[in-house]
Amino acid sequence: MTNYEVLIGTGDNDSDSKIQISLINSQGEETALVKPTAYATPNRDNYEKGSIEICQNVPFDLEGDPCSVRIKFSGDEWRLGGIWITNQENLKTWYAIPNQMITTNDEVIELQTISSGEASESYESFTGDISTGSNGTNDKVFLKLFDGNGRSTLAQRPGAPDGALDVINDWEEGTLQAYTASALSEKIGDIEYILLSKYGSNRWTPIAVTAKGAGSVSSETRVFNKLHNLNEDENKWVFCKRKESK
Protein backbone atom coordinates (compact mmCIF):
# COMPACT_ATOMS: atom_id res chain seq x y z
CA MET A 1 0.00 0.00 0.00
CA THR A 2 1.37 3.39 -1.00
CA ASN A 3 0.18 6.82 0.09
CA TYR A 4 -0.61 9.35 -2.61
CA GLU A 5 -1.41 13.03 -2.63
CA VAL A 6 -4.57 13.74 -4.65
CA LEU A 7 -5.51 17.29 -5.65
CA ILE A 8 -8.94 17.84 -7.18
CA GLY A 9 -9.77 21.12 -8.90
CA THR A 10 -13.44 21.86 -9.51
CA GLY A 11 -14.50 23.91 -12.53
CA ASP A 12 -17.67 25.96 -12.98
CA ASN A 13 -20.16 23.34 -11.70
CA ASP A 14 -19.96 22.37 -8.03
CA SER A 15 -21.35 19.46 -6.03
CA ASP A 16 -21.75 18.23 -2.46
CA SER A 17 -22.09 14.58 -3.54
CA LYS A 18 -19.56 11.84 -2.76
CA ILE A 19 -16.62 11.30 -5.12
CA GLN A 20 -14.47 8.16 -5.16
CA ILE A 21 -11.46 7.38 -7.31
CA SER A 22 -9.38 4.34 -8.27
CA LEU A 23 -6.06 4.10 -10.11
CA ILE A 24 -5.47 1.90 -13.17
CA ASN A 25 -2.05 0.78 -14.43
CA SER A 26 -0.92 -0.01 -17.98
CA GLN A 27 -1.92 -3.69 -17.60
CA GLY A 28 -5.49 -2.69 -16.77
CA GLU A 29 -5.14 -3.62 -13.10
CA GLU A 30 -7.24 -1.38 -10.90
CA THR A 31 -7.19 -0.48 -7.23
CA ALA A 32 -10.19 -0.40 -4.95
CA LEU A 33 -12.23 2.79 -4.98
CA VAL A 34 -11.13 5.30 -2.34
CA LYS A 35 -12.78 8.50 -1.14
CA PRO A 36 -10.06 11.18 -1.04
CA THR A 37 -10.11 13.03 2.27
CA ALA A 38 -9.15 16.69 2.34
CA TYR A 39 -6.96 17.36 5.36
CA ALA A 40 -8.64 20.70 6.07
CA THR A 41 -12.20 19.32 5.94
CA PRO A 42 -12.02 15.52 6.44
CA ASN A 43 -15.71 14.85 7.04
CA ARG A 44 -17.35 16.72 4.19
CA ASP A 45 -18.24 16.21 0.54
CA ASN A 46 -18.18 19.72 -0.83
CA TYR A 47 -16.55 20.41 -4.17
CA GLU A 48 -17.26 24.12 -4.51
CA LYS A 49 -17.21 26.00 -7.79
CA GLY A 50 -13.63 26.96 -8.68
CA SER A 51 -12.20 25.29 -5.56
CA ILE A 52 -9.29 22.93 -4.97
CA GLU A 53 -9.28 20.03 -2.52
CA ILE A 54 -5.87 18.96 -1.21
CA CYS A 55 -5.89 15.35 -0.01
CA GLN A 56 -2.74 13.65 1.30
CA ASN A 57 -2.00 10.14 2.60
CA VAL A 58 -4.61 8.60 0.27
CA PRO A 59 -3.81 4.84 0.20
CA PHE A 60 -3.75 2.83 -3.04
CA ASP A 61 -2.46 -0.69 -3.64
CA LEU A 62 -1.22 -0.55 -7.24
CA GLU A 63 1.52 -2.49 -9.01
CA GLY A 64 3.59 -0.06 -11.06
CA ASP A 65 2.49 3.42 -12.12
CA PRO A 66 -1.03 4.68 -12.80
CA CYS A 67 -1.91 5.56 -16.37
CA SER A 68 -5.55 6.51 -15.78
CA VAL A 69 -7.96 7.31 -12.95
CA ARG A 70 -11.56 6.24 -12.54
CA ILE A 71 -13.94 8.86 -11.13
CA LYS A 72 -17.10 7.52 -9.50
CA PHE A 73 -19.57 10.27 -8.72
CA SER A 74 -22.81 9.81 -6.79
CA GLY A 75 -24.53 13.06 -7.78
CA ASP A 76 -26.13 14.43 -10.94
CA GLU A 77 -23.30 16.43 -12.47
CA TRP A 78 -20.03 18.07 -11.45
CA ARG A 79 -17.23 19.60 -13.51
CA LEU A 80 -13.76 18.19 -12.96
CA GLY A 81 -11.34 20.94 -13.90
CA GLY A 82 -8.10 19.15 -13.03
CA ILE A 83 -6.63 16.30 -11.01
CA TRP A 84 -3.02 15.80 -9.84
CA ILE A 85 -1.84 12.53 -8.27
CA THR A 86 1.58 12.21 -6.57
CA ASN A 87 3.26 9.14 -5.10
CA GLN A 88 4.38 10.47 -1.72
CA GLU A 89 7.36 8.09 -1.56
CA ASN A 90 9.14 8.99 -4.83
CA LEU A 91 7.24 12.19 -5.81
CA LYS A 92 6.34 10.84 -9.27
CA THR A 93 3.31 12.76 -10.45
CA TRP A 94 0.50 12.28 -12.96
CA TYR A 95 -2.22 14.73 -13.93
CA ALA A 96 -5.11 15.56 -16.22
CA ILE A 97 -6.89 18.84 -17.03
CA PRO A 98 -10.10 17.49 -18.57
CA ASN A 99 -12.47 20.37 -17.70
CA GLN A 100 -15.08 17.66 -18.08
CA MET A 101 -18.61 17.29 -16.74
CA ILE A 102 -18.86 14.15 -14.60
CA THR A 103 -22.25 12.46 -14.17
CA THR A 104 -23.46 9.44 -12.23
CA ASN A 105 -21.71 7.20 -14.75
CA ASP A 106 -18.12 6.27 -13.98
CA GLU A 107 -15.59 8.22 -16.02
CA VAL A 108 -12.06 7.00 -16.77
CA ILE A 109 -9.61 9.85 -17.30
CA GLU A 110 -6.23 9.29 -18.97
CA LEU A 111 -3.26 10.66 -17.00
CA GLN A 112 -0.04 12.21 -18.25
CA THR A 113 3.31 13.27 -16.83
CA ILE A 114 5.52 16.27 -17.43
CA SER A 115 8.65 15.43 -19.41
CA SER A 116 10.84 18.22 -20.75
CA GLY A 117 13.63 15.93 -21.94
CA GLU A 118 16.19 18.19 -20.24
CA ALA A 119 18.74 16.88 -17.75
CA SER A 120 18.78 18.86 -14.53
CA GLU A 121 20.46 19.03 -11.18
CA SER A 122 18.19 18.04 -8.30
CA TYR A 123 17.38 20.10 -5.24
CA GLU A 124 15.99 19.54 -1.76
CA SER A 125 14.36 22.96 -1.59
CA PHE A 126 13.48 25.98 -3.70
CA THR A 127 13.40 29.73 -3.28
CA GLY A 128 11.59 32.40 -5.23
CA ASP A 129 9.24 35.36 -5.16
CA ILE A 130 5.49 35.75 -5.53
CA SER A 131 4.20 39.10 -6.86
CA THR A 132 0.75 40.29 -5.85
CA GLY A 133 -1.16 42.85 -7.88
CA SER A 134 -4.22 44.91 -7.02
CA ASN A 135 -5.91 42.34 -4.76
CA GLY A 136 -4.16 40.81 -1.75
CA THR A 137 -5.37 38.01 0.48
CA ASN A 138 -4.89 36.57 3.95
CA ASP A 139 -6.48 33.27 2.87
CA LYS A 140 -4.32 30.15 2.88
CA VAL A 141 -2.20 29.93 -0.29
CA PHE A 142 -0.67 26.68 -1.59
CA LEU A 143 2.10 26.04 -4.11
CA LYS A 144 3.07 22.81 -5.88
CA LEU A 145 6.23 22.74 -8.03
CA PHE A 146 6.71 20.32 -10.96
CA ASP A 147 10.04 19.44 -12.59
CA GLY A 148 10.64 18.17 -16.13
CA ASN A 149 11.19 14.56 -15.04
CA GLY A 150 7.65 13.73 -13.92
CA ARG A 151 8.08 14.64 -10.25
CA SER A 152 6.73 17.38 -8.01
CA THR A 153 6.77 18.70 -4.49
CA LEU A 154 3.71 18.04 -2.38
CA ALA A 155 1.29 20.96 -2.19
CA GLN A 156 2.41 23.24 0.63
CA ARG A 157 1.95 26.72 1.97
CA PRO A 158 4.96 28.79 0.89
CA GLY A 159 7.30 29.46 3.79
CA ALA A 160 9.18 32.59 4.80
CA PRO A 161 12.73 32.96 3.41
CA ASP A 162 14.28 31.97 6.75
CA GLY A 163 12.30 28.76 7.11
CA ALA A 164 9.84 26.70 5.05
CA LEU A 165 7.84 25.80 8.18
CA ASP A 166 7.17 29.48 8.95
CA VAL A 167 4.30 29.83 6.49
CA ILE A 168 3.34 33.15 4.94
CA ASN A 169 -0.12 34.22 6.09
CA ASP A 170 -0.65 37.56 4.35
CA TRP A 171 -0.11 38.27 0.66
CA GLU A 172 -0.39 42.04 0.56
CA GLU A 173 -1.51 44.02 -2.46
CA GLY A 174 1.30 45.46 -4.56
CA THR A 175 4.08 43.44 -2.91
CA LEU A 176 6.88 41.08 -3.93
CA GLN A 177 7.28 38.42 -1.26
CA ALA A 178 10.13 35.93 -1.06
CA TYR A 179 9.31 32.31 -0.18
CA THR A 180 10.88 28.88 0.33
CA ALA A 181 9.43 25.46 -0.51
CA SER A 182 10.73 21.97 0.24
CA ALA A 183 10.84 18.83 -1.91
CA LEU A 184 10.58 16.80 1.34
CA SER A 185 11.10 13.08 0.65
CA GLU A 186 13.12 13.25 -2.60
CA LYS A 187 15.05 15.82 -4.58
CA ILE A 188 13.48 17.21 -7.75
CA GLY A 189 14.90 19.13 -10.71
CA ASP A 190 14.44 22.57 -12.27
CA ILE A 191 10.81 23.61 -12.28
CA GLU A 192 8.69 23.41 -15.46
CA TYR A 193 5.16 23.99 -14.10
CA ILE A 194 3.54 25.33 -10.97
CA LEU A 195 0.12 24.82 -9.44
CA LEU A 196 -0.85 27.88 -7.41
CA SER A 197 -4.06 27.73 -5.39
CA LYS A 198 -5.87 29.16 -2.42
CA TYR A 199 -8.67 28.47 0.01
CA GLY A 200 -11.25 31.04 1.11
CA SER A 201 -13.61 33.33 -0.73
CA ASN A 202 -11.82 36.61 -1.45
CA ARG A 203 -10.10 37.57 -4.70
CA TRP A 204 -6.32 37.36 -4.94
CA THR A 205 -4.35 38.69 -7.92
CA PRO A 206 -0.98 36.95 -8.25
CA ILE A 207 1.07 38.45 -11.10
CA ALA A 208 4.14 36.21 -11.25
CA VAL A 209 5.95 33.42 -9.42
CA THR A 210 9.65 32.59 -9.68
CA ALA A 211 11.35 29.35 -8.60
CA LYS A 212 15.04 28.42 -8.28
CA GLY A 213 16.80 25.43 -6.78
CA ALA A 214 18.20 26.52 -3.42
CA GLY A 215 21.90 26.30 -2.66
CA SER A 216 23.07 25.95 -6.27
CA VAL A 217 24.69 28.54 -8.50
CA SER A 218 23.77 26.49 -11.59
CA SER A 219 20.01 26.51 -11.03
CA GLU A 220 18.12 28.74 -13.45
CA THR A 221 15.44 31.04 -12.07
CA ARG A 222 12.20 30.07 -13.76
CA VAL A 223 9.38 32.60 -14.21
CA PHE A 224 5.65 31.76 -14.27
CA ASN A 225 3.43 34.66 -15.29
CA LYS A 226 0.40 33.25 -17.12
CA LEU A 227 -1.75 33.62 -14.04
CA HIS A 228 -5.22 34.98 -13.33
CA ASN A 229 -7.30 36.22 -10.41
CA LEU A 230 -7.82 33.40 -7.94
CA ASN A 231 -11.44 33.45 -6.90
CA GLU A 232 -14.56 31.35 -7.36
CA ASP A 233 -15.53 32.74 -10.78
CA GLU A 234 -12.08 32.30 -12.37
CA ASN A 235 -11.00 29.24 -10.32
CA LYS A 236 -9.04 29.43 -7.09
CA TRP A 237 -6.25 27.47 -8.77
CA VAL A 238 -4.02 27.92 -11.82
CA PHE A 239 -1.69 25.41 -13.51
CA CYS A 240 1.01 27.32 -15.32
CA LYS A 241 3.98 26.44 -17.56
CA ARG A 242 7.21 28.40 -17.17
CA LYS A 243 7.93 31.40 -19.35
CA GLU A 244 10.23 30.33 -22.18
CA SER A 245 13.64 31.99 -22.35
CA LYS A 246 14.27 34.08 -25.46
Specify the range with the lowest mean pLDDT, choosing from 11-20, 155-164, 219-228: 155-164
Options 3.40.1160.10, 3.40.640.10, 2.60.60.20, 3.30.479.10; which CATH number does 2-110 get? 2.60.60.20
How far, in Å, CA of 103 to CA of 105, rounded? 5
How far, in Å, CA of 101 to CA of 88, rounded? 28
The pTM for the full model equals 0.93
Amino acid letter for position 149: N
pLDDT of residue 31: 97
Options 2.40.50.140, 3.30.710.10, 2.60.60.20, 1.10.620.20; which CATH number does 125-241 get? 2.60.60.20
User: Which helix or strand (DSSP H or E) is residue 213 part of?
Assistant: strand 206-213
pLDDT in tens, 154-171: 999 998 776 556 788 899
